[in-house]
Every structure is written in structure tokens, then in C-alpha cells.
């Protein structure tokens, strides 16, 4: 029996990086996964690999900034599997600009996906979890929500909103046995970070400033998300799980 046997999970941003690894890991641990993303071709490839291995996943096109899309995803999940046990709000974008150089369009786009998407996911999934009598929500934030050295003002602000919203929801729904936690990755080698780590010089700098002698991989985050999604963490809510190779110890 896997750690998520009998569970139904929605994972956003599942077409690559952390989200894809989480979808694969969750199905291996027994969950039925609704994998969503706007990158449908890549998403279909991820889900095809899962299903070819004998596990169970469904791919859905999903703009997390759209309330209609969220309603459709939740409705499909409930119609197919009867419930939602787990929500992983993983979808996000990164635009590298400081406050002075960030355009309003860049700000609005980042906030709509990274923050509003998390709010909408919880808004539409929590009612289903209330019906079931329990649930686990994991919101992917960032160490940029805790420290001030990130190069993107909009990204840091959006992830700070995720951090605060997580605590608010954790407090309000603890009595309903719905747990809400946030995960704060450091430098993780994913497609979203490719532009940041494009040069060997940048990679060397990032590694030099991470106490552990290597950079993070998607699985390093996924196993932390798995813990928070599973019943192993049944007495854990409202926490900030930092997975950064020790960067915040500096």
C-alpha cells in the first residue's frame, strides 16, 4: 500500500519540473491524479508515461487564473472519482524584474497566476473537502517570500501572498480537518529556472551560495510535498517547509 492509496489529488503546473515529478510520485504512491496545465502537449506526455506504467492520471487543460477553469477541473474530478482529497497548487511563473523595471502587465500576470490561482484553487476545492470531512492542501511558495534577495519583485510579492494565505486558510479550516501548508523551495533546477541558470557562471554562483554542495532537483521538493499531502503529516498544518539546501542558514 502506498502512502496515498485511495486518495484523489489535483496537481496544477504538472507539465514539467516539480509538478510533473509530483504527479508521477503521487501515482506511484497510490493516488489517482488529475494533472493540469496550460501546456497541453507536454502535459499529455507526462500523463501518458504515468498511465503506461500502470498508474492512473488524467490530463486537463487549465488556466489557474480562470475561475471557470477551476470549476471545470473540480467538477471533472468529482464526477470521475467522487471526491478531492489533495490539492497541490504548483503552477507558477517567474519574471525577473525589480520594482522600478516591472511593468504593470508583468505584475498583474504574475499575481494572477501565482497568487490568484492559489486562492481560486482553495476556494473551489475546500467545499469538496468539507463534504469529505478532511483534506490536505499544499501551496508552493518560495524562499523569495521570506528573504529579500530575489531578483523579481512581482514573483516575491506573489509568493509572499501565498505564504500568508496559506496560514489564513490553515487556521480557518483546521477544525474541519483540512490541513493547509506551504513549501518554500530554494534554487531548484526546473524548466522555469532555466533562464536564471543559463550560464555556468550563474550556476556556480548559485551553488556557491547554497551550503549543501549541489543544487536542488524536482524530486527534492516532491518528496516534501508528498509528506505534507499524506496522512503521515496529519498533525501538521500552517507550516512553512523550506527546501533550499540550507540557503536560509546564511
Residue 230's closest CA among 36, 26, 74, 56?
26
Residues whose CB is less than 8 angstroms from the CB of residue 3 and which lie 6 or more positions away in sequence, other chains included: 29, 30, 226, 230, 231, 232
Query: Residues 77, 83, 86, 89: what is their CA dihedral angle, to the nearest 10 degrees?
Result: 40
Residues in the chain, pLDDT under 50: 197-199, 201
| Burial classification of residue 41, based on how many CB atoms lie within 10 Å of its CB (0-12 exposed, 13-18 middle, 19 or more buried) | exposed
Q: What is the pLDDT of residue 155?
A: 94
Structural domains in the chain, CATH included, are 8-245 (3.40.50.720)
**Residue appearing with cell numbers 536560509:** 248
**What pLDDT, on the 0 to 100 scale, is given for residue 205?**
54
pLDDT of residue 17: 92
Counting DSSP H helices and E strands in the chain, the numbers are 8, 7
**Count of residues in the chain:** 250
In the prediction, which pLDDT does 65 show?
Answer: 98
> Cα(209)–Cα(248) distance, rounded to whole angstroms?
10
Residue 69: phi, psi to the nearest 5?
A: -65, -40
User: What's the pLDDT score for residue 199?
Assistant: 46
For residue 191, the model assigns a pLDDT of: 62
The pLDDT, as a whole number, for residue 196 is 53
The DSSP call for residue 140 is: E
Q: What is the pLDDT of residue 198?
A: 44
Catalytic sites, residue numbers: 155
- 142/89 Cα distance (integer angstroms): 12
Q: What pLDDT shows up at residue 206? A: 63
The three cell numbers locating residue 171: 487556521
Q: What is the pTM of this model?
A: 0.94
Amino acid at each position: 500500500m502506498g502512502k496515498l492509496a485511495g486518495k484523489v489529488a489535483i496537481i496544477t503546473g504538472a507539465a514539467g519540473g516539480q509538478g510533473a515529478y509530483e504527479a508521477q510520485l503521487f501515482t506511484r504512491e497510490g493516488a489517482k491524479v488529475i494533472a493540469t496545465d496550460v501546456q497541453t502537449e507536454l502535459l499529455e506526455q507526462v500523463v501518458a508515461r504515468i498511465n503506461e506504467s500502470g498508474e492512473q492520471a488524467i490530463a486537463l487543460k487549465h488556466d489557474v487564473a480562470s475561475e471557470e477553469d477551476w470549476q471545470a477541473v473540480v467538477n471533472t474530478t468529482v464526477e470521475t472519482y467522487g471526491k478531492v482529497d489533495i490539492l497541490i497548487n504548483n503552477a507558477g511563473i517567474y519574471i525577473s524584474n525589480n520594482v522600478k523595471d516591472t511593468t504593470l502587465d508583468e505584475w498583474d500576470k504574475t499575481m494572477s497566476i501565482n497568487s490568484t490561482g492559489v486562492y481560486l484553487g482553495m476556494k473551489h476545492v475546500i467545499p469538496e473537502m468539507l463534504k469529505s470531512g478532511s483534506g490536505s492542501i499544499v501551496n508552493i511558495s518560495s524562499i523569495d517570500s521570506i528573504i529579500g534577495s530575489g531578483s523579481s519583485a512581482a514573483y516575491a510579492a506573489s509568493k509572499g501572498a501565498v505564504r500568508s494565505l496559506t496560514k489564513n486558510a490553515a487556521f480557518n479550516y483546521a477544525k474541519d480537518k483540512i490541513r493547509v501548508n506551504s513549501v518554500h523551495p530554494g534554487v531548484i533546477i526546473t524548466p522555469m529556472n532555466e533562464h536564471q541558470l543559463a550560464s555556468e557562471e550563474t550556476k556556480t554562483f548559485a551553488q556557491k551560495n547554497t551550503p549543501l554542495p549541489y543544487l536542488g532537483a524536482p524530486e527534492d521538493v516532491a518528496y516534501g510535498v508528498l509528506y505534507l499531502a499524506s496522512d503521515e503529516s496529519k498533525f501538521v498544518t500552517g507550516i512553512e517547509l523550506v527546501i533550499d539546501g540550507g540557503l536560509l542558514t546564511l
